[in-house]
Amino acid sequence: MDAMVLHAPGEPLRFEHRPDPVPQVGEIRVRIEACAVCRTDLHVVDGELPHRGRPIIPGHEIVGIVDALGPGVTAPAPGTRVGIPWLGHTCGTCPYCASGAENLCDHPQFTGYTRDGGFATHVVADAAFAFPLTGFHDPVAAAPLMCAGLIGWRSLRIAGEGRKIGLYGFGAAAHILAQVCRWQGREVYAFTRTGDVAAQQLARSLGAVWVGSSEQQPPEPLDAAIIFAPVGALVPLALKAVRKGGRVVCGGIHMSDIPQFHYDLLWEERQIVSVANLTRRDAVEFLEIAPRAGVKTTTTVYPLAAANAALADLRNGRFQGAAVLVP
């Protein structure tokens, strides 16, 4: 197989040819059709998440076709299109797994971080963490759903039932979540970097009722705000934007330091909460909802060998929506 491999944080990925992986007990092998590029991949490549000390193939928004089964696996059957997300395995026995909070598992594995991921032509995955994509006929369009869509959906559930939802950082996750919010009858308030005209135009095209820069305040208080941009300075701005009893959800795995702020921004029962990983329940729910909501992803396609260019373009905000690698 071919793969783009990270050997050390801060270094470019290296194109390598390797033997095809062999699925072990409980695993499947997937021939990759598409893998979206996530900001978490940037955190891994740039060393903002702890390096695990060995070469790794990044990528965790994978869509592909099952082409081999490991011992003990009967489903998904060969020929099935599946999606493989960030959460690649859980222990099933720790207190968090036992209570249904497998996203907080004490002994997890993460696709593209602690186990090889989707910047390749093939990947081996835990069969229990691969989701059939029946009815999803375009692998490029489906790939961003496997993280940007899933983490957006979990963030929205944690944000609550409020009608006015602020989205800070209008990239891959927000452009999907905005469509779900509108389908649910909510109002979307989109916050972008100052001067990011393209992102603001995308937000308006997806039905945002108000669009502005992250430094601006919305025309009326929000019920909840979800922060996708990894910028800690947005937290006090979002607290200022939500109503009494409102909630600010931090939707990323990494964020710069949150600056000191006055207690009166948090007072009146405002809340700050974080989202960690996802559960299989999140995936099942969202993959059922996305077609009903008519979610359409905006994508820019790169060949597998151009993974470094895709990462650089994501880092510098050179495209809207999501980048997708196609072997």
Residue 155: name the closest of 173, 175, 170 by CA. 173
Count, residues in the chain: 327
Residue 56: name the closest of 42, 70, 45 by CA. 45
Domains of the chain, first to last: 2-145+297-326 (3.90.180.10), 149-274 (3.40.50.720)
Contact between 175 and 320 under an 8 Å Cβ cutoff? The reply is yes
Mean of pLDDT values over 229-242: 97
Residue 25, CB-side half-sphere exposure with 13 Å CA sphere: 0
pLDDT tens digits, one per residue of 146-172: 999 999 999 999 999 999 999 999 999
Compute the distance between CA of residue 202 and CA of residue 297 in angstroms, rounded to an integer: 11
Residue 69 has pLDDT above 90, yes or no: yes
Q: Among 53-57, 228-232, 234-238, where is mean pLDDT lowest? A: 53-57
Residue 228: name the closest of 20, 31, 40, 93 by CA. 40
Sign of CA pseudo-dihedral 181, 257, 253, 138: positive
Q: How confident is the model at residue 52 (pLDDT cuts 50, 70, 90)?
A: confident
Q: Quick one: pLDDT at residue 53?
A: 76
Q: How confident is the model at residue 1 (pLDDT cuts 50, 70, 90)?
A: very high
Q: Quick one: pLDDT at residue 58?
A: 98
Q: Quick one: pLDDT at residue 238?
A: 98
* Mean pLDDT score of the chain: 96
